[in-house]
Amino acid sequence: MKLLILDRDGVINHDSDQYIKNPDEWRPVPGSLDAIAQLTQSGWRIAVATNQSGISRGLFTMETLNAMHTKMHKAVTQAGGRIDAVFYCPDKADSNSPCRKPNPGMLLSIAERFNTPLNAVPMVGDSLRDLQAASAVGALPILVLSGNGRKTRKKGELPEGTRVFADLAAVARELMN
């Protein structure tokens, strides 16, 4: 099975320092929906792993998060693609929650759900914590420069073996070659 793990904010949709708090604020990064469609049509399974501390901060409810994810699923489906599963962690950064990236809990749950080891499974993110979570489980860390990716690259300290691409569309082109 070809499995790809994606962060959400900054990879699939635009990110915001004020958080994406409702479906109206959820806007896809140009090319991301088509990239997911091309990947799924090429046999890739897509899982999303996203920190969503806005829930524990009281910025939005579970109902609102579900509405954002419904909008994301519909947009991907309309583009001809599919997201097979969405995993999220509602905990704050200071919680040290095992599910919150950079901890690997969400990725381990994905491995269990898809019944597959994550060795060399590509994990695409725009922040250091995404890459650290990937590295912790032996997945292939991929940094995209959309979202916070440029800041992340500039800060350095990327895990060994991290590959860097302009955006999800560029990752999709590489994975399908």
Catalytic residues: 7, 9
Q: Which residues pair with 140 in a beta bridge?
A: 122
Residue type, 86: V
3-state secondary structure of 142: strand
Residues 6+ away with beta carbon under 8 Å from 91: 51, 53, 56, 97, 99, 100
For 5, the 3-state DSSP assignment is strand
Structure tokens at 109: 């749950």
Cβ–Cβ under 8 Å, residues 142 and 171: yes
The Cα 41–Cα 45 span in angstroms is 9
